[in-house]
A and B are shown apart, each in its own frame.
Chain A
Amino acid sequence: MTAEVRTLAALEFKGRMITVTVLRVLEPTLSVLARDLDRRLAEAPELLRGLPTLLDLDAVSASLDSLDICGLVRLLLERGITPIGVRSPSAQMSALAKKGGLLAITSDGTDVIRRFAESKVQMTAAPVTPAKSPALLITHPVRSGQQVYAPEGDLIITSSVSAGAEILADGHVHVYGPLRGRVMAGLRGDTSARIFALHLDPELVAIAGNYRISEYIEDRERGDNMQVYLHGESLKIEKIKS
């Protein structure tokens, strides 16, 4: 991801793109939302934790009166999800956002980046490469119930990842062994992150918050020498071509 910096006297604007998760609310009843959310989180507990999340209320626009926005915010916070605003809100949604202490966000930021790029603004400072940790190297098996996370960098595992284990990285994930657990690359939104495995038979794969659970991973997407990457918003799982 490119980062553009314009230096001012006492502060600087960073046009860095961060990915936010959009949470589409399809139902106004809190108890139903809570149950569904808990089920989702059980599938992928680390997926949403701490990630900034925008609420999309379009699907419940007809029943906004019965939506307890403060209750919803509390429910999300309790589960480690950080709601920051309501996406493309109508007037009524903006009011609701205000009531819930949320921002009304009219753009998701991508059009701003595009405008920057198109206007070819001369930048005074050189592009800043985001700080990156060296890769985290794990040489032992990651067993069921264990979790390994490589913050700000890549994760390399030269052993097996069992079913019931969870491996996460802000960068790419490489597994030189069978990968049977849950795997998430680009945890903080790097959509260019990829997953590579000598043998892929996972319970869940995710890149930058786009995920697929085992049920939706087909047989031909399992096997030796596989990679997972993001193409637009869809996850591609395919053999590494040599």
Chain B
Amino acid sequence: MGKTTTSASFATGLAQAGHRTAVVDFDVGLRNLDLIMGVERRVVYDFVNVIHGDASLKQALIKDKRVDGLYILPASQTRDKDALSHEGVGRVLSELAAEFDYVICDSPAGIERGALMAAYFADEAIVVTNPEVSSVRDSDRILGILASKTQRAERGDSPMPGRLLLTRYAPARVIKGEMLSVDDVLEILAIDMLGVIPESLSVLNASNAGLPVILDDDSDAGQAYQDAVARFLGDERPHRFMSVPKKGLLERLLGG
């Protein structure tokens, strides 16, 4: 959980840093990204329309009104999974790659067609994981697929760099033993870590407002995404939000 939230914030952060960025929703049938990006009322054409040639990329891409150089390609509402043909996805993505500095593919859950297609043409992966055994297991499976069933792997190129983004992290629950710790997850997955995003109410508020949470400078999750994007672009930033925040005197007195 947190893939679409992450895709929206990451794409926004990259565009804010001056990179032309497109974010593509691969979750055919669910269509969440446009809601989180707050552009759901401006959708005319979608990814599948472009694949079928019913619309050009230019017609389907929605320009973000808040951040320059940021574009959204929404998913189709139709439930036809086969619409994401290998050849069609490849063609649209290479067209996007020619036009943009970064193309973010928002993968659906699981290892079905949509997820496989989102990963197949990628140069790099950000694996979004929650600190739970089942989520970590799924991520491990995805990492296996990235290493074996992608274009990079089939061509025998060097393995796809994959980095971990641990999200919905609640240090207080880790201490109680209800959640895996950062170290537990890293030990199991054995990959580099891009960042930890805390469990935060601000995420829900932001998505209800159609605002990628990274634009909420006051929120912990927003700041954590800003750090993660900066690290992705090569900055070194210390990891934050990994321990229980110290309570203020008043809170302690009130037993909050």
Contact = CB atoms under 8 A, between A and B. Distances in A.
A145 B159 contact: no
A163 to B, nearest CB: 7
Interface stretch (B14-22, B89-97, B144-152, B196-204): B144-152
Chain A interface secondary structure, helix, strand, loop or mixed?
loop
Interface stretch (A75-83, A136-144, A184-192): A136-144
A9 B137 CA distance: 59
Contacts of B144: 142-146, 162, 165
Given A145-B145, A146-B148, A159 B190 contact: yes
B68 interface: no
A201 to B, nearest CB: 11
B141 interface: yes
B141 A144 contact: yes
A227 interface: no
A53 interface: no
Interface string A21-37: 00000000000000000
Interface residues of B, number: 13
Nearest to B111: A145
18 contacts: A141-B143, A141-B147, A142-B144, A143-B143, A143-B144, A143-B147, A144-B140, A144-B144, A145-B111, A145-B141, A145-B145, A146-B148, A162-B140, A162-B188, A164-B140, A164-B141, A165-B144, A178-B187
Nearest to B145: A145
A160 interface: yes
| Contact count band on A | 10 to 19
Contacts of B148: 146
Interface string B173-191: 0000000000000011010
Nearest to A141: B190
A140 B145 contact: no
Contacts of B143: 141, 143
Interface in B102-156: 111, 137, 140-141, 143-145, 147-148
A164 B137 contact: yes
